[in-house]
Chain A
Amino acid sequence: MSEPLESDPSLLVVVLDVNASAWSKSPLTVGNALQQMVIFINAYLALKPENNLVVLAANKRECKCLYPADRTTTIERDIRVYEQFRVVDATVLSGVQSMLSGAEAMVGDPNLGIEEGQTLMSRALSRALCHIHRVVEGTKSKVWSRMLVLSAADDAPREYISLMNTIFAAQRMGVLIDICKVFGGDSVFLQQAAEITGGNYLKVDTNGESMLQTLMFTCLADHYTREVLVAPTNETIDFRATCFCHKRVVDIGYVCSVCLSIFCELAPVCSTCQTKFSFRIARSESAQSNGVLKQSPKPAAATVAMSSLTLS
């Protein structure tokens, strides 16, 4: 891959997590976070006129493309704002509002469960990749693309596989993924997304006042600037994986020796590749080389195995 040049335009896909129930627990309100995000987006657009922007919003049920919008929204003329910014800001804000109010209408839904606080990130990320692909294919000159995910919700373990596949696809495409986690615990999956693609993982402190400054400092840099300036580093990254059978996040699990699927408990047949395991040898724990089922010694090993699976 060629070196990024100073003049190359970039493409930024912003993925907003608009999960109402997740935000309701956050000390930083959605409105406040959005305002800061909009300023960040304006700053991004101010950097280069050629800079391209896509804004996606995702919650538990759906993933919408807010900007560029499919329909023309008539926006009140506000002469105080630079034209280019106003269109984006208004579309994004109104889009998020409609999604939030749409989610509120669903509150009475009996299907609401424990998973309500989770957001379908893999859907949003893969949609973002599709956008990036379309733009990159459609332009003759080199476009450097990256993503910024504003995440509030917890990980959804059941989408582990699809999320990891998306991340590896992004890695292949040279797309950086920056993560800004607003509150709650660290997101295991998104942390890996940032690590694998070479982006930054940011955890904004609880009151969220400094979110904008943090974003400006780390996530505004394009590929060229990242070559020049030092990026903040994360020392500890949680590389745990989820099992394929119950979608639990596991430290230690069983790995299929044929397809490298991960399981949290013993199974006679691999659900992914239908290999039948021979239990006698495994249970004897003779640790012979023909043991089909073996225990993963370290949590990291599971992810390493996964990556080789997806990349091959």
Chain B
Amino acid sequence: MATQMGSEEEFKSTIAEYLESLPAQFCRRVFSNPAACLAIFRLLSTVGKHLVMSMLYLDSAIKLQDVYQWAKPDHQPLVRSKVHQLRKLQILTEERGNVSLSPVFREQLRNALTGGGDFSSFGIPFTGAVSGRVSKKWLASYANDRWEAILHFMVGHSADAEPPSESVRGILRMSRLMEDSAEGMKITNSGFQFLLQDPSSQVWTVLLQYLRLAEMQEMDVVEVLNFMFQLVSLQLGRPYSTEALTRNQQKMLAELCSFGLLYQDSVGAPQFYPTHLITSLSSGSASHSAPLSTSGSAATGRSAIPAASKGELAKPSDQGFIILETNCRVYAYTQSALQIAILNLFVHLVNRFPNFITGALTRDSVRRALSRGITADQIITFLTTHAHPQMQGRTPVLPITVTDQIRLWEQERNRLRPTAAYFYKDFGQKAEYERMFKYAQDIGVILWASNEKRQLVVTRQGHAKIAELVKSQRAAAAAAAAAAK
């Protein structure tokens, strides 16, 4: 799993894959909760969502063929695949050619939209006295500090800071982002890829790993999943009560606190706060949009608000600090050791000033990154999301020459593909060569051949068959020779 790094979309689909792998009765239990239904619904593709919504208020089942007919002719395969996906997720059930939404899912999604059902599923707000020190801003800096401390630990710049807790290290180890070595824990190639992702993808990875961990510790997966889906629907900056949580969920709470996804005043305190790292999961990709401004006051000047709240919640380093020139030079306005370490993965750094570094993308530096398993797309995505505001306004954000060059450097590495093969040469007679060539061609095993030199390269599977042919021919020839004598 840890090797499947990529865009955020991929992560969402892996969460969906995880749900698909659950047995039916598990799914039903997960669906019995409006918050979970809403969160799962949001993981679906746009067309999938629309199919669900179209059927949500249909009381009777409809023909599967009719559902396919909703699509325009050239989009039929797309809709078919989405229907298939919904069925794998157990959201759609089929009976004798008729499909309908799973009754539990339908009821709970309706509840989520209309406000009913299990009322604790969206979190129980804490009503007791709270300390005034926890504001949105404070939570943001707390979460960023915690999260960056972990990333620092991964890149090995944490000599001055204390290492993260055992559970954090456990998850890092289990997801193979880091591994144990003689001198403590060491980052792996997939760890490098992890660093390049945007925060919400990183959080998804951690949550997914947490699920696996829970499975291994034989915790109830449904409990963990429900709590997770509840967490992503919580409201930033508001205290929630821990009262109704089960023991496993309490445990999970404590562990997610150590990642900075949640905040608790003290261990066992009756309230907890979600931070923007986890609430932004439900509001789209966190790297671009700040947590959604949903309160009535914040929504007045909609267009202006996201930028403002982004500035409030994100550190300056998150706002975009990289300038990339067409000549592959990179200028980065940052003092964060973490950002510099990440840039160092694929940039040849030249100068460092108090708040500014310069460097260049070179063939060697990019190839070094590629050899660590980082893909060209990851580099390009990273540069795009962290581009300086002055570059953000342009389309495309990065100079095409540079992105093309990075992709070319990646392709360069893929020029050679090793295949196990057998080399035939020194054929005595032309006819023998041609017979062999023809046979190899018929069974399609030729990798390379030269008629002039009478040389032939075939795959390993082909060799076995050719050897048989040769053997049988030799035997036939010997038999014929013996008969002639």
Contact = CB atoms under 8 A, between A and B. Distances in A.
B122 A87 contact: no
A82 B125 contact: no
A52 B302 contact: yes
Interface size range on A against B: 35 or more
A6 B46 contact: yes
A47 B300 contact: no
Contact of A39 (B34, B113, B283, B289): B113
Nearest to A137: B303
11 contacts: A46-B112, A73-B296, A79-B119, A86-B115, A87-B294, A217-B53, A217-B54, A225-B50, A228-B47, A228-B72, A229-B71
Contacts of B47: 225, 228-229
B42 A46 contact: yes
B113 A68 contact: no
B41 interface: yes
Interface in A134-162: 134-135, 137-141
Contacts of B19: none
Contacts of A273: none
Interface of A: 6, 9, 39, 42-43, 46-50, 52, 67-73, 75, 77-87, 89, 91, 134-135, 137-141, 212-213, 216-217, 220-222, 224-225, 227-230
Contacts, number: 131
A24 B29 CA distance: 45
B292 interface: yes
B56 interface: yes
A2 to B, nearest CB: 11
A49 B71 contact: no
Interface residues of B, number: 53
A68 B296 contact: yes
Given A42-B114, A49-B292, A82-B122, 10 more contacts: A39-B113, A50-B283, A68-B299, A79-B123, A80-B116, A87-B294, A138-B302, A217-B54, A220-B54, A228-B75
Contacts of A140: 392-393
A295 to B, nearest CB: 42
Interface string B47-76: 101100110111000000000011110010
Contacts of A77: 125
Given A216-B53, A230-B72, A49 B79 contact: no
Contacts of A84: 292, 294
B57 A213 contact: yes
Contacts of A49: 42, 282-284, 292
B38 A72 contact: no
Nearest to B300: A68
A78 B302 CA distance: 24
Contact of B112 (A82, A212, A230): A82
A52 B56 CA distance: 22
A234 to B, nearest CB: 18
Contacts of B49: 47
Contacts of B114: 39, 42
Contact of B304 (A72, A78, A85, A138): A138
A221 B51 CA distance: 10
Contacts of B177: none
B38 A82 contact: yes
Nearest to B44: A47
A130 to B, nearest CB: 13
A142 to B, nearest CB: 11
B311 to A, nearest CB: 15
Contact of B113 (A46, A87, A221, A222): A46
A85 B113 contact: yes
Given A52-B302, A68-B300, A70-B300, A87 B46 contact: no
Contact of B50 (A78, A81, A89, A220): A220
B61 to A, nearest CB: 14
B447 interface: no
A76 to B, nearest CB: 12
